[in-house]
Amino acid sequence: MSNFLKDTPFKGSKGIYLAIKLAVLVLAVLLALRFVFGVV
C-alpha cells in the first residue's frame, strides 16, 4: 500500500500527497476499530 502511495502522481504536491495518506490511515484505523470493538 505504501509503495502504491509513493508512486502516485501527487508526488509533486506534498499537501495533496499527505492529505491522501492521512485519509487512508484514518479510514484504516476506523475500520480496525469497527471490527475489533464494534464501534460505529
pLDDT digits (tens, 9 = 90+) for 13-26: 777 778 889 999 99
From residue 39, alpha-carbon distances to 6, 19, 25, 27, 32 in Å are: 31, 24, 17, 13, 10
- Higher per-residue pLDDT: 25 or 12: 25
pTM score: 0.51
The domains of the chain are located at: 2-37
Contact 20, 8 (CB under 8 A): yes
Contact 10, 17 (CB under 8 A): yes
